[in-house]
Amino acid sequence: MTTIGLIRHGVTDWNVLGRAQGISDIPLNEAGLIQAKAIADRLSGESWDIIISSTLTRAKQTAEAVRSSLGIGNLITEDRIREINCGQIEGTTEEERVAKWGDNWSSLDLGIEAFEDVAKRGAAYIEEVAATHRDKRVLIVSHGALIGLSLQRLLPQRFESTYINNTSLTIIAHRNDEWACMLFNCTKHL
């Protein structure tokens, strides 16, 4: 059985302000650094073999705290688990989007990556990790939309919709070509 722990990065200033981050490279704020330490402390007594992070700074900062706490030798980074590309809405709040494009802004072509495409790339990468690291325990530090949409694709009977909290831990397992979710969106460390 391959076990995969999915961790959303800690909070950023843009999270607090309600700005769409997407692929903008926003670092953790002070609260996010504290959250990263909290998830690292939580996992410090556990045994994980590998840690993989999105290439965006907020995920790498979170992953580095966990990697250091676990004593894992190196951090692997991967572009395919970056957040959804929010196109022209990156850096904007809902209020700013309505002011600029109107109440129906989400129906416009503003260069936002399709949810289906995000789900496909995230799920495909998680499946690749499960195949490549069979019977290992792997942590993946990524982003809310990527994790949530990937879960909906891998376990559609369990997840019709998802919301992923900052530094939450979700654990899924792969055995006999089937996925199971052992823990979802847990933030008991906060």
In Å, the largest CA–CA distance within the chain is: 51
User: Looking at 30, 46, 64, 83, which residue is catalytic?
Assistant: 83
User: Looking at 9, 90, 143, 174, which residue is catalytic?
Assistant: 9
Residue 127 a catalytic site member:
no
Residue 113 a catalytic site member:
no
Contacting residues for 53 by C-beta, under 8 A, at least 6 apart = 59, 60, 62, 63, 64, 75, 76, 77, 78, 81, 140, 141, 142
How many CA atoms does the CB half-sphere of 35 hold within 13 Å? 23
Catalytic residues: 9, 83
